[in-house]
Structure 1
Amino acid sequence: MRKLVKVAILSALLALGGCAAMMRTPPVPGDTLEVVRAKFGEPTAVHALPPGQVLEYATGPYGQFTWMARMGPDGKLLAFEQVLGDVGFGRIKIDKSTRADVMATVGRPAERSYLALSDLEVWSYRYKESGVWNSMMHVHFDRAGIVRKMISGPDPMYEEKRGFFRD
């Protein structure tokens, strides 16, 4: 029993430590690449985009936040923003955006799946819709890697589980 309590406390502390890492003071435009990395550590991904690069700081697969640090060609921060939300998803253009565009816009998905009947690959992202509702955005790609549709719905991870013996 004592061992179980110790494991539970250690797990809680580690989880809170991970959350605290993302609660740091955000970098400000003009900060250098070294300052951004000093504040947030190594990014989960780096995307090369004109005019510079984008550093991705994801909290997935169960997190609802991904921060993107957009760096200029001079190595200075242009913008630092949380992209999993209405504004970030609004930048994805149906019938135009590619997998690479989506990855550089909102980062890596929480889940990937395939719909055989419609022959579409689906990337799913957890987020807070309107900053309130636990939701998932499903981005559907055709075989060529072009976004064909986007569907938002409730995140099943937060839905009440109903079973055979429960109402």
Structure 2
Amino acid sequence: MKRIALFFTLFLALCLTGCAMFAPPPDPGTPEQAILERYGKPAATYPDGETTLWEYPGGYWSQETHMARMDKDKRLISWEQVRTDAKFGTLTIGKSTANDVLKTVGRPTETSQIHMNNYKVWTYRYKQDGVWDSVMHVMFDDNGIVQKMETGRDPLYDDDRGMWGRTGVGIGVGGGRWGGRGGGIGIGIGF
């Protein structure tokens, strides 16, 4: 009985968390405490002049990240979804730093290294044009300056299994040696 009660409690908590994600964004002027009560502690904070940016990643595989800009009086100035083409477009190759990237689009979904160029790569999952499951690779040199940016299809959503999806049908014909015996016909179905 306790397990069932625990299961339903967890299920209800997850449902309520999901509902909070679909709620309208907070209004400018909302106090810090109300933001913390509604969204919890931010994943990261970034000082930006006289304001502070609070990062709230979300969505499938963090395709969305919201930044809350808080003023010095601890009130919300703006709430913005930053994993967009427009925000990536504000980054300048040869000029933007790793800190600029963090303040613009937040922390990466994953990091890697390209040893040939000695680039550190930050990968961001996002919806390109608000529709396509994509990744943006931001590449930094040893000094932490953006040197290159590339976008492409997100391999996690790339279901390249042909017209039949995961189902496959194959027919094979095998022959023996020239003038010899052997051979056969086979049909296979895969799921």
Q: Give the number of the structure whose alpha-carbon radius of gyration is greater.
A: 2
- TM, length-normalised to structure 1: 0.83
Whole-Å separation in 1 of the counterparts to 2:28 and 2:52: 14
Aligned-residue sequence identity (percent) comes to 42
Change (3 A) 1:166 1:114: farther
Unaligned segments of structure 2, at least 5 residues: 1-6, 170-191
| Residues 26 and 39 in structure 1, CA contact (< 8 A), matched pair in contact too | no
Change (3 A) 1:19 1:96: farther
Change (3 A) 1:98 1:157: same
| Residues 58 and 67 in structure 1, CA contact (< 8 A), matched pair in contact too | yes
Q: How many residue pairs were aligned? A: 159
Shift of 1:151: 0.6
Deviation per CA, 1:95-123: give whole Å up to 9, x if none. 11111111111111111010000110100
Structural RMSD (CA): 2.6
Shift of 1:19: 3.6
Higher RCO (C-alpha under 8 Å, 6+ residues apart): 1
What residue is the counterpart of 1:87 in the other structure? Answer: 86
Moved over 6 A (4+): 9-15
Unaligned segments of structure 1, at least 5 residues: 1-6
Whichever structure has more strand as a proportion of its residues is 2
- TM, length-normalised to structure 2: 0.74
Change (3 A) 1:42 1:116: same
Whole-Å separation in 1 of the counterparts to 2:161 and 2:14: 28
What residue is the counterpart of 1:70 in the other structure? Answer: 69
Shift of 1:23: 2.0
